[in-house]
Amino acid sequence: MYGTHGRLLRIDLDSLESATESIPDVVYERILGGIGLASYLLARWCPSGIDPLAPKNPLVFATSPFVGTGITTASKIAVATKSPQTGVIGDSLSSSYLAIALKRTGFDALLITGRAAASTILVIDDDRVSFRPAAHLLGLDPVATSDAVRAELGAGFRVAAIGVAGERGVRYAAISNDGRMAGRTGAGAVMGSKGLKAIAVRGSTLPKVAEPKGLAMAARRLAERSLGPGTAKYREIGTAANVAFFNRMGLLPNAQLSERAIRGSGSDQRRNTAAGAPHRPSGDAPPARSAASTTTAPATAVRETSARLEYETLFALGSLRHCRPEHGAARAAARRAGDGRDQHWGQPSPGRWNVVSRASTSATRSVSCLPGDGAALLRTIAAVGERRGIGELLADGVPPRCRSRRAGERGGAMHVKGLRCPVTTPASCKRWRSVWP
């Protein structure tokens, strides 16, 4: 089938062996995109009733037929596994060069099972697979890990890595790739449970397409449309622009989801958004960027650095904690989060802050940080990543936090079957409205 290789690479970390399996055309005809392929493979290979952190739980990376074609926003890697937060399927989409690198190896998907005896780097160079020790990388953040792996292996490799949170089984740990995160459902914890610190990928072969000229024209038209006025706000300040927009629409999560907007005039909202405006991004970005991205860089750049502030970080650090965006301390913490310094732990912002913010605003003050205390919030991130003190409890996600509430403590962290709530107020959604207080 055009746009696919029709091949799956299976990795068994128990034996440090690999195998290749064909994917029939009928599978691509019945599923949609990389998430569809990853979900299909997970359903096929995941044993019923398996513990998410058990060796037999598959960790799947998959690509769609559009990856590598030049179609804008198509360079996304789909990651699926049985989620350690929910106990059901967990999937993530992450825009990065890793998707193209995997597609260039001659495989459409990678499926990993087993548990390595010692911390390991999985290396895939076209259709050649090897395993390297990673003991010297333990304790490093994902960016430092990626830099070290590329220095060891040579140019051209793209790297997916976990931080300390993944190593220590924080149940909402993410997998970092090209500075992006495959997060939310705890894929980083699954990767860490397998003794896998990093995956390095390099390839040279893309599948054929049916009409190369027609595809190139379509890609050009889509790229032109993506640069239109409708996406100007994302190019100028990124997804942080959504703070004021969602607030006007009554969608902004505020005060632990008890309110649907920040009170104040429109001019106040604009000033608040400007006060939390992101640094301009630096370093590389996927060749097919999403509309929310703000810059692009040459495909030859490989340094995984970024200095930007996204909507997710702003709402999680600000309005969710009943902390207005103009709070100086919260804004400073958000900038530090946005420029990557708290990414050392490999924890995605919304999931981590749903837990931490609820703890910090509880009646018993189980985490010693008040709204606006940015330094304390960052210390709490470290405690979670290291599973130290209160971080040991928070590292297991929302449900344990709710079960641990002391007598007289108000409320509990919001979740749906263990997964954090959406990044908009649930009361604004038709399906939630009838059951949301």
Average pLDDT over residues 391-420: 63
Angle at the Cα of 68 from the Cα atoms of 71 and 161, rounded to 5 degrees: 115
Q: Per-residue pLDDT for 73 more than 50?
A: yes
Strands annotated E in 96-167: 109-113, 120-125, 128-133, 158-161
pLDDT tens-digit map of 170-201: 998 999 998 888 888 899 999 999 999 999 99
pLDDT tens-digit map of 400-409: 555 544 444 4
pLDDT score at 96? 85
pLDDT score at 256? 65
The pLDDT-based confidence of 436 (bands split at 50, 70, 90) is low
pLDDT tens-digit map of 230-260: 788 887 878 888 888 888 877 787 766 666 6
The highest-confidence range among 113-117, 395-399, 428-432, by mean pLDDT, is 113-117
Give the residue, 289 or 396, on which the prediction is more confident: 396
Q: Per-residue pLDDT for 106 more than 90?
A: yes
Hey, which residues does 161 pair with through a beta bridge? Answer: 176, 198
pLDDT score at 308? 60
Q: Output the CA–CA distances (angstroms, integers) from residue 167 to 87, 194, 196, 255, 345, in the order listed.
A: 20, 9, 9, 32, 9
How many Cβ atoms from other residues are within 10 Å of residue 16's Cβ? 15
Domain boundaries, the chain: 7-202, 233-432
Report, at the CATH architecture level, how domain 233-432 is classified: Orthogonal Bundle (1.10)
The separation between CA 436 and the C-alpha centre of its own chain, rounded to angstroms, equals 27
User: What span, in angstroms and rounded, lies between the C-alpha atoms of 278 and 335?
Assistant: 7
Instruction: Work out whether strand 7-12 and strand 109-113 pair parallel, antiparallel, or are unpaired.
Output: parallel
Give the residue, 358 or 49, on which the prediction is more confident: 49
Q: Per-residue pLDDT for 359 more than 70?
A: no
According to CATH, the topology of domain 7-202 is Aldehyde Ferredoxin Oxidoreductase;  A, domain 1 (3.60.9)
pLDDT tens-digit map of 290-314: 333 333 333 333 444 444 677 777 7
